[in-house]
Each structure stands twice: as C-alpha cells, then as structure tokens.
Amino acid sequence: MKSRTHLDINPDTGLAAAGNPLLNNGIAGDDRIVAYGLRNPFRFAFRPGTNQLWLGDVGWGAWEETNWFATGPTQKAVPNFGWPCYEGKDRSMRYDAANVGLCEQLFAKPAQNLGGVASPLVAPLAQLNHKGAYPTGCNTSGGGASVGGQFLTGTSWPAKFRGGYLFGDFARRCLMIMPTGGGTQPDPTKTVAVVDKIGPVAIRRGPGDALYVVDIVGGKILRLSGAGGNRPPLAKFTATPATSDTLPMTVRFDASASTDPEGKPLTFAWDLDGDDVCDDATGVRTSWTYRHSATVTTKVCVTDAAGQVAVASRVIHADNTDPTVTAMVSSTATGWAVGDVITFTAVGRDAEDGVLPESAYEWTLVMRHCAAEGDEDACHTHPLRVASGSSVSLKVPDHEYYAYVRAWVTVHDSVGGTKTVRIDALPRVSTIIVETLPAGIPVSVGGASGASPVTGKFLEHGLAELIVPPRTTLAGETYAFVRWTDNPDAIPDRKFKAKPGTNTYVAEYKVVAG
C-alpha cells in the first residue's frame, strides 16, 4: 500500500511553492511535498491565526487519526506520519511481520532526513480505535472513517467549546468536538460527541461563526452555530405500538430520550387525542387507549428550566394493519462480481389497500465494507443510491475486500403505515496466492502481507494489487526480481482484475552481488 503526501504548490504554475522545505534538496520529484506517511487524508483546514494544518486520516484496520503540522514559508522539517509502517501510534502488524525494508529502517531510526532536511516520525494527536469506544452519541460499531473538521471561533460558541476542533466520523455517524480544556491546544482526552445520526463528509466555515456540514446520508446541509444564553431542549419520544389492527389499542409513550443542552431538569406534557394541545397527560412516560378507528398525530411538549419548549410528534394508526413486503435480489444464488448489474425487487401488500402502487416504495442501497468477512462489528457503510418504485438496479462498483451490497426497502400504505425489510447481496470472492522462488521473500497481496507464500482475497473482477520487492535479502543472500512466471513483462508491483476462483502467481528471483 502506498502512503499519501500533502503538497504545497503555486496555484498559477503547479510548481512547488516558494519556501517549501524540500525545494532544491537534490532529490528529484519531492519539491512539492510538505508531509507524507498518510493513508487517506480526508478534509483539512488551517487553524485560524496559525500556520497549523489539521486533517483527518482514514485508517485501515484499526485506527482513525487526527493529525496536524505547521507548514508555510517557515517550515523547516517534513513530518512522516508513519503509514504504511504505522497505523495510529502502533506498528502496522502486516508490514512489521513482512520485514519490509522501508519499515524496518523507520522502526530502527524514526528521525530520518531527505536530502539534508529533517523528516521526523510524528504520532497522531488523537486516535480512535475501530473496535473501541467512541464518545457517547456515536454509533457503537461500524469501524471508522475520519472526516477532518474546522475550529470553533467567535464568542457565540459556549465557552467550554470555544477554540476547540469540530470533526466527524462518517462510519460512526457523528460529529465530535475536541475542546481545549483551558489549554492552548485541543485536548483529545476531552472529546465529546455533539451531533449523532448523520453521515458527515465535509465541514466548512461560513459567514460569522457558523459551520456547515454536508450530511450525505440524510441528503442535507446542516448549519451549526453557537447559541448565546440558554439553548432549547431536544424532544424525542417513542410510541409502542404505533399501529394496530385491534381495538381498543393501548399505546405506551416514552420521552426519556429527550435532553437539555444545559443538563437541567425537563417537564413533559402530552397531546394524545390529536387536538394540537398538550393537555392530555404529564410526565416522561404515559399511555393512552384508542377505542375507535383513527389516524392521530400525537405530540410531546418538552419544557426546560428557562421555559423554552421543544415539540416532537408521531402518527398513531388505530385499527390499521401495517403493510407487508417481500424482497429479492437477482444475485442471490451465485453472488455478484464487480461490474455486474444486480436488481432488487419488492412486492408490497396491505390488508386495506391490496397490492401497493409503485409510489409506495422507497429504496436505500449501500456498500458495507468490513475488516473481515462475517465481522459485522467491524463494518461501515458507503452510500450507493436511493430510488423509488418496486425495483431498483445497480452496477456494482469495486471496493476493498470484504464488501457487500445491502438494500432496505420501505413501503407505505394509504394512511401512513410502513414496513421496512433488509436484503443483502453477497459478492463472489477471488483468492490469490503469491509464491516466490525462493520461498520466504516478503510480499503483499491486497491487505495481506508477510513472507511468501501469502494468500489474499479480493472481490471477483475487482482490482487486485500484488507487490513483491525489486531487491531483497533472505538468509544472508541478496536477491533481485527476475519475472512473474505467468507474465514475464509484468513489473514487481502489478495490478489487474481479480479472476474467478483461486489463482496462484509466482515471482522468480536470482542471487546477485550484495
């Protein structure tokens, strides 16, 4: 796997910016580089009033990182953030086990230089583990996908957050703030989640103190701003059951998920008969019995200690049967390969409405990417498409192993009753074994690395990457790459579409003078 770099260029010419630390250091091709050793840097921003560049770096199998470095005309050193030899503050086990020369050199001597320019190994400021605890409010599983953020500037933000760093995690569906905690730098030990149930992919600064967040999952742009003084509460409640075909129907209401930003006590009043007045019950929990066929919009009115009120509503369907839906996918029997077109089809029925019309269907399709096949706790989600109608087709894109397509279809009856079902479309998997002559030479096969032979897996017809060293040492002998036996013209780092089934590729070496 390659590491990513940050470049500083002249926007008019594309050449290295004046003052770049590696400019004219005698090494060809590195003049634009101001940082390297990043796996997948996603979104970055300068800290206001400084030359600090802050960014999120999406991890591989274990850690999500927040990194920063000082750049600009006065930059003297070029930080190496460690990838692929390090992930987070830990050595990358696959590369460590493979004894890759680049990594062994970095492990032995973290302070490198590039043509006389200092290049120290720099650990991330903050890291979050894919299987560890995120701040309360983020999803408890799903891997991780770091999204670099922005700083909270201006007096409208609460004092405890002012100057802090707001960033996100797409896989954990949340926004977090790393406050300064009274110091000068944001403190990762004090990180808290502030917005949940969103899919952030970009955070930008807008007019005044406001920040704008692109929520690709919800299809929204959120505006975040500080609120002076008291902030209103957040009203939430559940209704169980929300639909029944039996009368009388007793519904249990629970608003215990409601919160107050200041953490002060809340009071609750309920509109349960649908007359738009919260005068039917009080307390955080209550119940109501519906004795006649009806569709009723119920509400909870939540009041904080300062008198600010928030309202949430839910529709209750008394004497109505929720619709049913069955779904299938065209690839169920054999699985799909990258580039295949698969079709999801559903049939919705309702006791009152009969077969539901095309307008009753809503689809959401995503790609689930997992650290390992069957490990649902280490999966995260990439949106693919939304659609309507009783069927939807998708040309399956490539993705790193292991990944599969998941679809949800929701049907609606004429009075608002719903039913949602989920269906997964699994891939066909290609297995690639890389051997070397002689055996024991370090190789990389997709996400697997080690002394040959090594086995890696890919989505069938997806991009396979095989890496063997051009030159290496084994048992005191120096070996040079000669050829791949199946394709003598291929270079040591080769890429191609993964063929069906299990295939073996052999890299041949010869002894050369050390």
* pLDDT tens, position by position, 51-63: 999 999 999 878 9
Residue 326: HSE in the Cβ half-sphere, 13 Å Cα cutoff: 3
Question: Residue 5 has what pLDDT?
Answer: 67
Rounded CA-CA distance 456/444 in Å is 8
Query: In Å, how far are 57, 140, 216, 401, 404 from 369, measured between CA atoms?
Result: 17, 16, 17, 7, 7
More confident residue, 25 or 504: 504
Q: How far, in Å, CA of 150 to CA of 486, rounded?
A: 50
Q: Give the start-to-end residue ranges of the domains of the chain.
A: 4-127, 130-224, 238-318, 324-425, 429-512
Q: Is pLDDT of 15 > 90?
A: no
DSSP element (H, E) containing 106: helix 101-108
Neighbour tally for 140: CB within 10 Å: 9
Distance CA 344, CA 363 (A): 9
Average pLDDT over residues 57-81: 93
pLDDT at 398: 96
Q: DSSP label at 501?
A: S
Cβ neighbours, 10 Å, residue 344: 23
Q: Are 316 and 298 in contact (CB under 8 A)?
A: yes
Same fold: 130-224 with 429-512: no
Give the bridge partners for 424, in sequence order.
Answer: 406
Q: What is the pLDDT of residue 62?
A: 87
Q: Is the pLDDT of residue 36 over 70?
A: yes
**Could you tell me the two tokens for 502?**
């299990």
Residue 373 has pLDDT above 90, yes or no: no
Q: 171's torsion region: left (phi>0), alpha (psi -120 to 50) or beta? A: alpha
Mean of the per-residue pLDDT values of the chain: 91
pLDDT at 271 over 60: yes
CATH of domain 130-224: 2.40.10
| pLDDT value at 227 more than 70 | no
pLDDT score recorded for residue 332: 66
Q: What is the CATH number of domain 324-425?
A: 2.60.40
Hey, what CATH topology would domain 429-512 get? Immunoglobulin-like (2.60.40)
CATH number for the region 238-318 comes to 2.60.40.10
Tokens standing for residue 398: 């490539």
* Measured distance CA(495)–CA(463) in Å, rounded: 7
What percent of the chain is predicted at pLDDT more than 90?
Answer: 67
Structure tokens that stand for 421 in this block = 């079902």
pLDDT at 449: 84
H/E element holding 295? strand 294-303
Closest to 218 measured CA to CA, from 152, 174, 166: 174
User: How far is 272 from 270, CA to CA, in rounded Å?
Assistant: 6
Give the tens place of pLDDT for each residue, 287-328: 999 999 888 999 999 999 999 999 999 999 888 888 999 999
CA-CA distances (angstroms) from residue 256 to 3, 93, 253, 302?
47, 44, 9, 11
